[in-house]
C-alpha cells in the first residue's frame, strides 16, 4: 500500500512539472473520445473514426513531448501560467480543429480553426449558419469545446488571474483565495500547477453538476437529449452555441427558458457558486454589488422596453392584449439577461414582443448590454459589472465632494469589494477597452467592411458575444462571406476580449517576466 502511494505521488509530481499547455492538450485529446462514442452510437462511423484517431494521435504526441520534457527545469517566469492560458486560446484550437475539419470535409482548415477559437473563448459565433450542415456529433463537439473554455476561465480566475490582479481583480479589495498565503509570484511553477489542479478539482464537480442538472431539466421540458445537453453546456459557459439555431427551434418552450434564465444568474457574480476570490465580509450574495446591478438591469431595462412596446401597441391598436403583453415582458427579461451575461440566446418570444408593439428594438441596446458583461471571475465576457460599479461609486463620491469638499470616505457598504484606487484602475481599463474597440473597428473598415458592420463585429468579438452578429445590426452578419483577413482579425478580437487587454500587456512587459 505504501509503495502504491509513493508511486502515485511520484507520477503526480512528474505530471505537475509538465507545462500547463501540454496538460491542456492532453485533456483536449482525451475529450475527443466523447464525440467519437456519440458518433458511433448514431452510426456516423467516419466521424467516429476521425475523432478517435485524432484523440489517440493527440495523446501520443502529448505523451512523447512530456517524455522529452521530463527532467528538464522550466525557465518560465511568474507569468508562465498566464502565457499557458494565452496559448490555450490561440494554439490549442489548432488541435481542436483537426477532427472538426477532417469530419466535415466541405470547409477549410481556417474556418475550422476560427470555429474552435470562437467556441473555446465562449464567443459562440459560427461560420456555419445552417445547423443542418453539421452532424450531431460536430454540434456536440462545438458545445463541449465551449464548455471546456468556460471551465478553464472558472479555474484560471482563481488560480491565475486573481494572484496576478488581472481579469477584474485589479479593482477589488485583496481577494481571499484558498491557500493564498502560499501562492505568490515567486512560487515555483510545480507548486503553481498544483494550486491550479487543486482549484480545478474543487470547481469541476460544481460546474459539471450544474450543467448536468440543467441538462435534465431541459430534457424533462421536452428538448431532445442532444439539444438539452448542448444548451446546458452553452448556458453554463455563456457561449450561446446551439445545434438547432437558437431557442426558437426548441421544444422546451417557456418552461425551458425559465430554467435557462435561472442558470444564467451564475454569470452575474462568482458568489453564486464560490467564495474563493472575494473578501470574507461581503455580506453575502444579496449584498454583492455585481449581483444587484445585474438584477437591476434585468428589471429596469425590460421595464423600459415594455413601456416602449406598450406605447407602440397602443398607437397601433387601442385594445390591449394581456397575453401579448406578458410574452413581450418575458421576451425582454430573458433576452436582456442573456446578452448581459454574454450568452446571446434570444427568447422565442423576442420576435413576438416586437410584433406585439409594431416597433423594432435597436441592436445598439443589446450591444451595450454585452459590453457591460457579467461578473468578475465568471464565464461571462464584457468589461464586467464590478468595474462599472467602481466608476459608479467614484461618480457618487465626486458629487458628494461638491457639497462637502473636506469629507472623508469610510469605504463602507458595497465599497468593501473595491480597493483604494479601484475606480482609477477601472477607468484605465475602460480607456484600454475603448482603444481596443477603436483599433479593431479601424482594422475592419480598412478591409472594406462597412462601418456599422465593423462596429457590430468588434463588439461581438471583444465582448465574446457571437450572437450579436445576428441581432446587433439591421440584418444578420454572415461571417463566412467575409475575407480571410477579416476572419483572422475577428479571431484576434475574440482572444483579446476573452483574455482582456491588461493581461496581454502583462505578457509583453519584460519587467514582470524578470520578476
Q: 37 — phi, psi (to 5°)? A: -65, -40
Strand partners, 252: none
For 278-293, letters b (16+ CB in 10 Å) and e give beeebeeeeebbbbbb
3-class secondary-structure state, position 172: strand
Would you state the pLDDT for residue 481? 92
**Whole-angstrom Cα distance, residue 469 to residue 451?**
14
**Whole-angstrom Cα distance, residue 259 to residue 347?**
12
For 256, residues 6+ apart whose C-beta sits below 8 A from its C-beta are 217, 218, 221, 222, 223, 231, 247, 250
**Whole-angstrom Cα distance, residue 479 to residue 484?**
10
The gap between the terminal CA atoms of the chain, to the nearest Å, is: 42
Domain boundaries, the chain: 12-272, 422-514
Fill in the DSSP letter of residue 178: T
User: Residues for the chain: how many in total?
Assistant: 515
The three cell numbers of residue 297 are 438591469
Q: How many CB atoms lie within 10 A of CB 59?
A: 18
Read off the pTM: 0.90
What string of H, E and C letters represents the secondary structure of 465-509?
CCCHHHHCCCCCCCHHHCCHHHHHHHHHHHHHHHHCHHHHHHHCC
- Upper half-sphere CA count for residue 467 (Cβ side, 13 Å): 25
**Whole-angstrom Cα distance, residue 376 to residue 438?**
24
**Whole-angstrom Cα distance, residue 488 to residue 142?**
19
For 70, residues 6+ apart whose C-beta sits below 8 A from its C-beta are 14, 17, 18
**Whole-angstrom Cα distance, residue 507 to residue 41?**
44
Would you state the pLDDT for residue 40? 96
Q: Please, what's the largest Cα pairwise distance for the chain?
A: 83
| CB contact at 8 A, 222 and 364 | no
**Whole-angstrom Cα distance, residue 476 to residue 495?**
22
For 360-389, letters b (16+ CB in 10 Å) and e give ebebebbbebbbbbbbbbbbbbbbbbbbbb
pLDDT digits (tens, 9 = 90+) for 209-255: 999 999 999 999 999 999 999 999 999 999 999 999 889 888 888 99
pLDDT digits (tens, 9 = 90+) for 362-373: 788 899 999 999
The three cell numbers of residue 441 are 473597428
Q: 421 — phi, psi (to 5°)? A: -100, 25
| CB contact at 8 A, 349 and 305 | no
Mean per-residue pLDDT pooled into runs of 10, the chain (515 residues): 45 60 92 96 94 96 83 64 90 96 93 96 93 94 96 90 82 53 44 78 93 96 94 96 91 92 93 71 75 91 74 54 78 92 90 64 85 90 89 84 70 57 84 94 96 95 94 89 95 94 77 56
pLDDT digits (tens, 9 = 90+) for 40-68: 999 999 999 999 999 999 999 988 888 88
> By C-alpha distance, which of 450, 422, 443, 451 is closest to 487?
443
pLDDT digits (tens, 9 = 90+) for 143-156: 999 999 999 999 99
Q: 418 — phi, psi (to 5°)? A: -110, 145
> By C-alpha distance, which of 374, 369, 409 is closest to 393?
409
Would you state the pLDDT for residue 176? 45
Q: How far is CA 370 from CA 83, 240, 364, 460, in A?
A: 26, 13, 10, 8
Fill in the DSSP letter of residue 366: H
DSSP 214-258: HHHHHHHTT--HHHHHHHHHHHHHT----SSSSGGG-SSHHHHHH
Would you state the pLDDT for residue 80? 78
Would you state the pLDDT for residue 8? 41
Amino acid at each position: 500500500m505504501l509503495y502504491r502511494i509513493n508511486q502515485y505521488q511520484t507520477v503526480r509530481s512528474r505530471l505537475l512539472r509538465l507545462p500547463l499547455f501540454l496538460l491542456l492538450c492532453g485533456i483536449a485529446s482525451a475529450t475527443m473520445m466523447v464525440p467519437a462514442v456519440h458518433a458511433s452510437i448514431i452510426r456516423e462511423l467516419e466521424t467516429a473514426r476521425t475523432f478517435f484517431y485524432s484523440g489517440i494521435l493527440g495523446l501520443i504526441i502529448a505523451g512523447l513531448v512530456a517524455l522529452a520534457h521530463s527532467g528538464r527545469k522550466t525557465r518560465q517566469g511568474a507569468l508562465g501560467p498566464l502565457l499557458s492560458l494565452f496559448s490555450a486560446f490561440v494554439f490549442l484550437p489548432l488541435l481542436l480543429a483537426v477532427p472538426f475539419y477532417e469530419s466535415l470535409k466541405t470547409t477549410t482548415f481556417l474556418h475550422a480553426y476560427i470555429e474552435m477559437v470562437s467556441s473555446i473563448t465562449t464567443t459562440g459565433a459560427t461560420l456555419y449558419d445552417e445547423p443542418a450542415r453539421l452532424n450531431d456529433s460536430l454540434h456536440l463537439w462545438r458545445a463541449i469545446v465551449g464548455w471546456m473554455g468556460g471551465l478553464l476561465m472558472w479555474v484560471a480566475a482563481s488560480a491565475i488571474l486573481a494572484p496576478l490582479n488581472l481579469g477584474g481583480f485589479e479593482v477589488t479589495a485583496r481577494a481571499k483565495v484558498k491557500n493564498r498565503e502560499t501562492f505568490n509570484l515567486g512560487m515555483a511553477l510545480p507548486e503553481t500547477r498544483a494550486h491550479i489542479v487543486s482549484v480545478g478539482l474543487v470547481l469541476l464537480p460544481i460546474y459539471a453538476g450544474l450543467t448536468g442538472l440543467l441538462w435534465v431539466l431541459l430534457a424533462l421540458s421536452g428538448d431532445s437529449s442532444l439539444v438539452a445537453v448542448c444548451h446546458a453546456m452553452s448556458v453554463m459557459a455563456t457561449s450561446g452555441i446551439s445545434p438547432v439555431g437558437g431557442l426558437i427551434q426548441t421544444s422546451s418552450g417557456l418552461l425551458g427558458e425559465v430554467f435557462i434564465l435561472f442558470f444564467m444568474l451564475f454569470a452575474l457574480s462568482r458568489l453564486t457558486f464560490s467564495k474563493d476570490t472575494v473578501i470574507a465580509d461581503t455580506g453575502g450574495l444579496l449584498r454583492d454589488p455585481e449581483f444587484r446591478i445585474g438584477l437591476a438591469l434585468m428589471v429596469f431595462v425590460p421595464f423600459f422596453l415594455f413601456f416602449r412596446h406598450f406605447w407602440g401597441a397602443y398607437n397601433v391598436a387601442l385594445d390591449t392584449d394581456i397575453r401579448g403583453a406578458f410574452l413581450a415582458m418575458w421576451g425582454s427579461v430573458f433576452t436582456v439577461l442573456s446578452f448581459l451575461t454574454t450568452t446571446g440566446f434570444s427568447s422565442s418570444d423576442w420576435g413576438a414582443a416586437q410584433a406585439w408593439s409594431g416597433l423594432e428594438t435597436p441592436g445598439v441596446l443589446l450591444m451595450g448590454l454585452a459590453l457591460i458583461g457579467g461578473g468578475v471571475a465568471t464565464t461571462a465576457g464584457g468589461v464586467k459589472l464590478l468595474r462599472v460599479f467602481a466608476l459608479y461609486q467614484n461618480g457618487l463620491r465626486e458629487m458628494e465632494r461638491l457639497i462637502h469638499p473636506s469629507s472623508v470616505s469610510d469605504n463602507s457598504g458595497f465599497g468593501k469589494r473595491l480597493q483604494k484606487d479601484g475606480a482609477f484602475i477601472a477607468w484605465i481599463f475602460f480607456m484600454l477597452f475603448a482603444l481596443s474597440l477603436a483599433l479593431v473597428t479601424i482594422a475592419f473598415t480598412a478591409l472594406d467592411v462597412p462601418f456599422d458592420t465593423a462596429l457590430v463585429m468588434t463588439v461581438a468579438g471583444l465582448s465574446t458575444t457571437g450572437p450579436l452578429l445576428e441581432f446587433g445590426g439591421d440584418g444578420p452578419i454572415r461571417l463566412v462571406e467575409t475575407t480571410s483577413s477579416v476572419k483572422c482579425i475577428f479571431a484576434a478580437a475574440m482572444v483579446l476580449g476573452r483574455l482582456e487587454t491588461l493581461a496581454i500587456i502583462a505578457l509583453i512587459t519584460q519587467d514582470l517576466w524578470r520578476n
